[in-house]
Structure 1
Amino acid sequence: MGHKTRKIVRRIIMAGNLLVIIIMLSVGHIDRLNPVNHPMLANLGLGFPILLVLNTGFLLIWIFFRRRLIWLPILGFLLCFGPIRKYIPFNLPKEKPHGSLKILSYNVFLFAPWNIPDGEPNPIIEYIIRSKADIVCLQEAGLQELREKDVLHRLATHYQYCDTTIKPVTRTECLMLLSRYPIIKKEIIPFNSKGNMTVAYLLNVRGIEMLVVNNHLESYNLSSQDKEGFKSLIRHPLPTHSAKGESTYLLKKLGEASAKRAPEAEAVSKYVKGYLDRHIPVIVCGDFNDSPLSYVHRTMARGLTDAYISTGTGPGFSYHKSGMYVRIDHILCSSDLEPYEARVDDRVKRSDHYPIYCWLKYRPRI
């Protein structure tokens, strides 16, 4: 290859690297766009890992063929440090202090009772009990009537305070709170949704009033075929005619769901702010059905700390079915609660979600 040809090829690769960095930077801050106004763009954050892989590929190219240019992909990583940390945080281990509260959030998928032999314990229920969490927020916690009393009795032997809230009218949704601390009051945060809801609890935790908000926001409602199409696009993101049509369809469907979640998140954020303004410690957790690079997460996290981003390590995928892997379950806390050792536990696979947990230490603001 002649000198002039090599120079042209190098410039083309540099241009490609620059384009990837620009797109990566834009997608990394896509959470600033309201899905109601920009539904087709709202979920581009799901493609952020692809851009990270592409930029890493350019880094390897420059390492092997033009080391003087490795600064370019490195600059891209530095410019996108914030979004990268949100999506794939890395934190050094820090031991939780004595007296910390363990918080567990888990979408239990109706406790997945199928294929469990008669007489065998339910793995999800046993996991919750073994977790020894102080406060447990469950989503999709509906129970078959014949087993409801047995399940609630089993959980009640370990949690003195248990509350189940079923979606009014439709009765298609059920959120559950298990607590070692008394429930002072509860309230359903009002927003317009047919099948999802958010429940807020005021607890008396060792003499301190603490707000716990359990969320299950609007689902993507993807069919099995939709999920297969999503996987195909991730594996083969080539601009073919069929891929373009599939991506347009999926982005539209994802965007419609995001546009429904946005006002739900805004309603929760507004409700939480009222307690933050009164300096009441707040824990917000549950199935947000949105990634860390989303308007919903950004809105829900206003004035709060994401426990996984600040103390977890790795992508922490909490949804794992149908070949789709993304962190859509989150635990957030106010500044007077310091998080430790947040993890997504992939050992129990009965539900389509993995549980997420962390420890919180109350440190009152001076």
Structure 2
Amino acid sequence: MKKRSIFNTLLFFINSILATGLLLSFFLPYISPNSLPSLTVFSLFVPFLVLINLGFLIYWIVKLHKNVLLSTFVLVLGWFLAPPLIKFSNKEVVLTNDLKVMSYNVRMFNYYKWNDDVTTEQKIYDFVNNESPDVIAFQEFYQSDMIDIKLPYKFIKTKSAKDKFGLAIYSKYPIVNSGSLNFENSANNTIFVDIVRNHDTIRVYNVHLESLKINPNKENFGEKDSERLFKRLANGFKKQADQTERIIQHEYSWKGKKIICGDFNNSAYSWVYKKLADNKKDAFIERGIGLGKTFRYVYPMRIDFILTNEDANINQFKTYNKVKLSDHFPIMSRLNW
């Protein structure tokens, strides 16, 4: 009995630390990475903290122990303060006049052969064409000679005239305007197009915020030690903050219908997400099902998003978590106004 009591005391101590960490993380979206970059790194670990606290909750419930109140309190608070980690089944309303928008980080169509399957590039084209989106935003795009996307209009922006890497937007509808924000001192960028559909002009942003260069297959995520990793992540978050402010400033001048999608390289519990999602609907939150995991990592990280105007109707959202052709899963939403 005494040993069991000591074990529960130690377990509750660990529970208290992780519950406090989760509680504090609810305030991270209100802290700019430019003011406290080291602190904002913890936004990446919120899904992990949620799952761990759920584990403690289940353990204390099974034990019928009063310690269950701590994780229960923090998780219930998070339900009201933070974006959901998991969404349960929602009724889908599929309309024939929906705009089908897809976002997909294709990891340069396997240009560097991270996948041994030499048919990966063609499989990505086949997948996209079979799903038949009206608009698709590609991150980590490579301007390959094999490109076979069955959409008539496109805007491709590479980092330089000689470089074939960058971003692309393909559209079923005519593109009447396009541009690039041209992030400085970064391999990442954001581009936009204005498409005309049913006499409506819709602006679509393809966002790829600063990469944190996380390699889940290497020790310390590809860094020599934890201290260097932490510093690298903090610097990455600061760049993301500057890039986010640039996007917000640019999109502010557009008062019409808009879609902001892409790879934010950060979670829904971050400052950059909160800023970009302000006064917008998140397609996953509106119509998503499950964990919404978009990055192929050991725990659920949702870092790819589709956002749109608050007056839009989002009728469907899908994460293609069985399509393992990149280190990201493609996402698609059906919406209209």
State whether TM-score is above 0.5: yes
Q: Is residue 244 of structure 2 the alignment partner of residue 265 of structure 1?
A: yes
Is it true that 1:210 corresponds to 2:233 in the alignment? no
**Aligned residue in 2 for 1:293:** 269
Shift of the 13–160 alpha-carbon distance from structure 1 to 2, 3 Å rule, reads: closer
Q: Does 1:138 align with 2:113?
A: no
Please report how far the alpha carbon of residue 219 of structure 1 lies from its aligned counterpart in structure 2 after TM superposition: 0.7
Query: For the residues of structure 2 that align with 1:183 and 1:50, how far apart are their CA atoms?
Result: 41
Q: Deviations over 1:19-62 (max 9, x none)?
A: 43322111133122111221211120222233223322332343
Contact 1:304 1:332 in 2 (8 A): yes
1:267 is displaced (CA, Å) by: 0.8
Alignment correspondent of 1:77: 75
Q: Which amino acid aligns with 1:335?
A: E
* Structure 1 position 251 matched with structure 2 position 230: yes
Structure 2 CA distance for partners of 1:116 and 1:63, relative to 1, 3 Å: closer
Higher deviation after alignment, 168-177 or 129-138: 168-177
Structure 1: how far apart are the matches of 2:91 and 2:226?
A: 39
Query: Match for 1:32 among 25, 30, 54?
Result: 30
- Give the conservation status (yes or no) of the 8 Å contact 1:311–1:341: yes
Flag the 1:217–1:170 CA change in 2: closer, same or farther, 3 A.
Answer: farther
Q: Report the 3-state secondary structure (helix = DSSP H, G, I; strand = E; otherwise coil) of the residue aligned with 1:342.
A: strand
Question: In the superposition, relative to structure 1, how do residues 195 and 9 fare at CA in structure 2: closer, same or farther (>3 Å)?
Answer: closer
Residue aligned with 2:141, SS: coil
Confirm or deny that 1:332 pairs with 2:332. Answer: no
Write the distance in 1 (CA, Å) between the matches of 2:323 and 2:335.
23
Please give the alpha-carbon distance, in whole angstroms, between the structure 2 residues aligned to 1:106 and 1:175: 10
Matches within 5 A, 1:140-159: 140-144=140-144, 147=145, 150-151=146-147, 154-155=148-149, 158-159=150-151
Mapped contact 1:173–1:196 kept (Cα < 8 A): no
Q: Which amino acid aligns with 1:269?
A: I
Counterparts of residues 219-258 of structure 1 (less than 5 Å): 219-222=211-214, 227-230=218-221, 246-258=225-237
1:107-150: CA deviation from partner (whole Å, max 9, x where unpaired): 112222555568x9700011111111111111121134xx2xx4
TM-score by length of 1: 0.81
SS in 1 for 2:253: helix
2:331 matches 1:360? no
Counterpart AA for 2:310: S
- Asked whether the 8 Å contact 1:288–1:330 carries over to 2, the reply is yes
**Contact 1:102–1:357 (Cα < 8 Å) also in 2:** yes
Deviation at 1:67, TM superposition (A): 4.2
C-alpha change, 1:51 and 1:204, in structure 2 (3 Å) is same
Shift of 1:6: 8.2
Distance 1:103 1:249 in 2: 38
2:318 aligns with one of 316, 340, 343: 343
Bigger mean CA offset, 213-222 vs 246-255: 246-255
Contact 2:108–2:165 (CA under 8 A) maintained in structure 1: no
Q: CA deviation at 1:303?
A: 1.9
Q: CA deviation at 1:256?
A: 0.9
Q: What letter is aligned with 1:326?
A: M
Mark the runs of 5 or more structure 1 residues left unpaired by the alignment: 232-244
Residue 37 of structure 2 aligns to a residue whose secondary structure is coil
The count of corresponding residues between Structure 1 and Structure 2 is: 334
Structure with a larger share of its residues in helix: 1
Runs (4 or more) in structure 1 with deviation over 6 Å come to 5-12
5+ long unaligned stretches in structure 2: none
Q: Does structure 2 retain, via aligned residues, the 8 Å contact 1:170–1:195?
A: no
The residue type paired with residue 353 of structure 1 is H
Range moving further from structure 2, 164-173 or 213-222: 164-173
Match for 1:124: what amino acid?
I
How far apart are the structure 1 equivalents of 2:325 and 2:11?
A: 45
Deviation, structure 1 residue 96: 2.3
Return the letter of the residue paired with 1:55. N
Q: TM-score, normalised by structure 2?
A: 0.87
Give the AA of the match of 2:276: M
* Residue aligned with 1:47, SS: helix
Distance, in Å, in 1 between the alignment partners of 2:5 and 2:209 is: 52
